[in-house]
Chains A and B, each alone.
Chain A
């Protein structure tokens, strides 16, 4: 599968590969983190979230990892499918207030 250590604006993978999208957040006081998927012309769609008292959370085919020491967040997508092609954003907030979004990563999945 494809893995990136630093944020990259684009990620291209083959169908069936595992994808890892990275994000750095800025505020040490943030206690809530969330990943969104956004398709062209649509609003962001929730994928998975995690609170600061956790290091890892798993959903269906997705896993979010939180490293508070280096203020790093990652999204892992297992068995990537063409329907996963979209722009992915991470976001942080403090106690449910304004979300601060990171730079997006465009995921392209080829079959």
Chain B
């Protein structure tokens, strides 16, 4: 499968714990995006990278959230001191550098904070 992959698919954690998610974009896609989606809502933008540079961060990305893309390939999203309000689906997407703006989404990581 050459699509966007995300791991883990599901994560259950206790409030106050740290969690880290991984996203592997489609090979050679230079832009990588993170979104968060809560039940019944559309995805909300968190941040995006062009290669290893983080170009934009949403106000939704509080100090407890950090994202990296150290080598311009895979990316990680870490949430520190998780809160129940962090429970959501975390989606990753990537874009072909050839001029198309279409964002290809992965299957998401479902986070449940108890």
- Residue positions of A touching B, CB distance < 8 A: 32, 34, 36, 41-46, 49, 89, 91, 93, 95-104
Taking a contact as CB atoms under 8 Å apart, the answer to whether A46 and B104 are in contact is yes
Q: How large is the interface on B (under 10, 10 to 19, 20 to 34, 35 or more residues)?
A: 20 to 34
A7 to chain B, nearest CB (A): 12
The listed residue (A41, A99, A103) touching B103 by CB distance below 8 A is A99
3 A-B pairs with least C-beta separation: A101-B42, A43-B105, A98-B45
**B25 within 8 Å of A by Cβ?**
no
Known: A97-B55, A98-B45. 16 other contacts (CB 8 A): A34-B103, A43-B106, A46-B102, A46-B103, A49-B101, A49-B102, A89-B43, A93-B101, A97-B56, A98-B48, A99-B35, A99-B45, A100-B45, A101-B43, A101-B44, A104-B42
The listed residue (A34, A89, A95, A98) touching B102 by CB distance below 8 A is A34
Q: What's the Cα separation between A91 and B103 when bound, in Å?
A: 11
Q: Which of B33, B95, B103 is packed against the most chain A CB atoms within 10 Å?
A: B103
Q: List 23 A-B contacts (CB under 8 A).
A: A32-B101, A34-B101, A34-B103, A36-B105, A42-B108, A43-B4, A43-B93, A43-B105, A43-B106, A44-B43, A44-B91, A46-B102, A46-B104, A49-B102, A93-B101, A96-B31, A97-B56, A98-B33, A98-B56, A100-B45, A101-B42, A104-B41, A104-B42
